[in-house]
Amino acid sequence: MKKNILVIPGDGIGPEVTTWGKAALEKIAEIFGHEFVFDEAIMGHAAIEVTGEPLPDETLEKARKSDAILFGAIGHAKYDNDPSLKVRPEQGLLKIRKELGLFANLRPILLFDELLQASSIKPEILKGTDILFFRELTGDVYFGEKSRSEDRNTASDLMIYHRYEVERIAHKAYQAAQQRNKRLCSVDKANVLESSRLWRETVQEIAKQYPDVETEHMFIDNAAMQLIKNPKKFDVVLTANLFGDILTDEASQIAGSMGMLASASVGESTGFFEPIHGSAHDITGKDLANPLASILSAALMLEIGFGLKDEAKLLVDTVDAVLKDGFRTHDIADQSTNRFKVLGTAEMGKLVLK
Amino acid sequence: MKKNILVIPGDGIGPEVTTWGKAALEKIAEIFGHEFVFDEAIMGHAAIEVTGEPLPDETLEKARKSDAILFGAIGHAKYDNDPSLKVRPEQGLLKIRKELGLFANLRPILLFDELLQASSIKPEILKGTDILFFRELTGDVYFGEKSRSEDRNTASDLMIYHRYEVERIAHKAYQAAQQRNKRLCSVDKANVLESSRLWRETVQEIAKQYPDVETEHMFIDNAAMQLIKNPKKFDVVLTANLFGDILTDEASQIAGSMGMLASASVGESTGFFEPIHGSAHDITGKDLANPLASILSAALMLEIGFGLKDEAKLLVDTVDAVLKDGFRTHDIADQSTNRFKVLGTAEMGKLVLK
Ligand SMILES: CC(C)[C@H](C(=O)O)[C@@H](O)C(=O)O
Ligand SMILES: CC(C)[C@H](C(=O)O)[C@@H](O)C(=O)O
């Protein structure tokens, strides 16, 4: 199989982890005899520094032409500390999601048995958890009109949904639920928000087309609580952009660390694969980042992007084997025991490749 | 001391738990020689059934005249299942918050040592946690303009903040932090939302007036994760209405159960005290609800509403003693051991009074 893959390392720890996601893809190509042609592009703070724009046209063009994108992370402390800056790294990520029509963000909560102890949640609560999040990615308050009054004392963002936006992701989520445990939980705040009432109404309608899937509707506040109280009760979780952002970060504790979670954004054409962790400026360049989320993002690209199940499985199994052998990065090492061999980013990356 | 207290039991388990919050106040009045004069009023589904309105004028008038309000819960399955209903119970709660100017919602995460095991989070992660949330309560997407297109295919809610709204709650939160561990974490989504950028800017300004308090700014997605990863790192958490709704429900797992958490809403005049749990239709009338959150709401009324510290402490200590004696309601009982004496709502209420 021949595929063109665009690598966008981005900001912060993005470059150091993406190196290993890319290397994993190269290794897979070598083993299975595929031809993966790589190109690279800039985005975020890295792009602002060079071009003044968070998403240069050239990057977008390369993205449109590629079969899949492997992305790192975005964001920089400079902008976080100065909310008044007009040009911001995150705009690049939001724009590419919108431009490529990446309306469905899949975030599987993959639980490696070996990491049950790494979580702050009790192992017996976690064991057996298997959740697949469908986060809507191109609507909501992320993309609604923003405004700031002239005196700068009032600011607003429009939380807005159109029925077709809810329908298309609901279909994807229900289809996934049919292949899994046939339970779907839709999360909203319909007791307060009109956009959530549209969300709930629409999901109720779509649900009728999937009578084999059991549907539950839950308020976001309750869901944030249930997710850690009893994560096993969830199978597919379907939710809006903002609520999905919050719930999936929270859910990363189920997997032991944010450093373990990958995501796939799909929609109209090219798929976009990235760790759910952020740019983590505090540990950038210190060889402390966990490259496994990028490697698992590569696995998602193989499986969801290219339909290469065996190739994806080999990557996931290798990560599992490395964990079984007691190797850990800092974020998933239990400091209280000496049982683990704690590795830096590069050592961990190399080990998986071997 | 003479005080007029309005009791609004509300919907679902509201009435069954509020009975015990009120009884606790009566007992305290008796012991300490105060005169608490009680009145009662309807709100939510209970009020819609009788008057067609979720917040009848009479209830609002009584509320304005009282010195403090003890509230139960709001909401009903009928409305949750039918998003198209125009008159909804929650509108009553939102309206009374707005009308009484209750802009600051204080949610202390009170951790009873006895309940360390009741949480899904590991006891060693929880131990020593002491968080006070300040949730803004009369702004945000809760109160911004809502709209639905004529074809009903588009729906929106305006997420909006004015600088003065952020300032007044920030001052309250900083003042509380000064009395506590002098750390304040402000939670927003300033990397995406304009209203959050106003929020962050404003908090940065106010922070300068409290140089003795250490300020941190955190994105909501990260906060949802950190809260369960390392709850001890938080002291005062300051956040917007929607983010506060989500984070405090999530944080209820720190306290072992939502059934243990009370909240105080304060602002311009009369204080409003309520459990953070909802109406819980599924267990309504089954004698399964935990009355302790209502009793602890009464304690918050005594302390924050009336400045009666000793009276409040007696209530909290009594709850602690009952837990130490091994008594539990269903939500906080560890089903796997026989160590606990599991009580119904009424038995637990009576026991605390004794
Ligand atoms: C960086 C930020 C804009 C982004 C988001 O909020 O979508 C990130 O948190 C994510 O979840 O991918
Ligand atoms: C019932 C609902 C409107 C309310 C809210 O969202 O504010 C509740 O969840 C709360 O936290 O008090």
Distance separating alpha carbons of residues B354 and B352, to the nearest angstrom:
5
Contact residues for B336 (Cβ-Cβ < 8 A; gap 6+): none
Lowest pLDDT segment from A296-300, B114-118, B137-141, B171-175: B114-118
Q: Mind listing the domains of chain B with CATH numbers?
A: 1-110+259-354 (3.40.718.10), 120-254 (3.40.718.10)
- Residue whose entry in the numeric block shows the structure tokens 């290794």: A27
Closest ligand to the CA of A80: 1
pLDDT at res. B349: 86
Distance separating alpha carbons of residues B354 and B351, to the nearest angstrom:
5
Which residues make beta-bridge pairs with A151? none
pLDDT, average across residues B325-336: 84
Using a pLDDT cut of 70, give the percent of chain B over it: 99
SS3 A342: strand
Dist. CA B169 → ligand 2 center (Å): 18
pLDDT single digits (tens) A163-214: 999 999 999 999 999 999 999 999 999 999 999 999 999 999 999 999 999 9
Cβ < 6 A, ligand 1 pocket: A 74-75, 90, 93, 245, 276; B 191-192, 221
pLDDT at res. A336: 65
**Run of H or E residues at B275:** strand B271-275
- Residues of chain B contacting A84 with CB distance shorter than 8 Å: 197, 201
| pLDDT bracket for residue B262 (50, 70, 90) | very high
Pairing of strands A183-188, A236-239: parallel
SS3 B251: helix
pLDDT at res. B268: 83
Dist. CA B245 → ligand 2 center (Å): 7
Q: How far apart are the first and last CA of chain A?
A: 23
Return residues 103-142 of B near A (CB < 8 Å). Answer: 120-122, 125, 141-142
pLDDT, average across residues B41-54: 97
pLDDT single digits (tens) A66-78: 999 999 999 999 9
Task: Tell me how close the Cα of B354 comes to any Cα of chain A, in angstroms.
Answer: 32
pLDDT at B250 > cutoff 70: yes
pLDDT single digits (tens) A320-336: 999 999 999 998 887 66
pTM metric for this prediction: 0.96
Concatenated DSSP letters for B21-76?
Answer: HHHHHHHHHHHHT-EEEEEE---THHHHHHHSSSS-HHHHHHHHHSSEEEEEE---
Closest Cα partner for B68 from B30, B22, B133?
Answer: B22
Cα A347 to chain centroid, rounded: 24
The greatest distance separating any two alpha carbons of chain A, rounded to the nearest whole angstrom, comes to 61
Which residue minimizes the CA distance to atom 3 of ligand 1?
Answer: A90
pLDDT single digits (tens) A123-179: 999 999 999 999 999 999 999 999 999 999 999 999 999 999 999 999 999 999 999
Which residue minimizes the CA distance to atom 6 of ligand 1?
Answer: A245
The CA angle A277-A80-A274, to the nearest 5 degrees, is 20
pLDDT, average across residues A84-113: 95
Task: Tell me how close the Cα of B197 comes to any Cα of chain A, in angstroms.
Answer: 5
pLDDT single digits (tens) A51-64: 999 999 999 999 99
Interface touch B194/A159, C-beta < 8 Å: no
Average pLDDT of chain B is 95
Average pLDDT of chain A is 95
- Name the residues of B annotated as catalytic: 142, 189, 221, 245, 249
Known binding residues of B for substrate are: 97, 107, 135, 221
Distance separating alpha carbons of residues B331 and B17, to the nearest angstrom:
14
| pLDDT bracket for residue B336 (50, 70, 90) | low
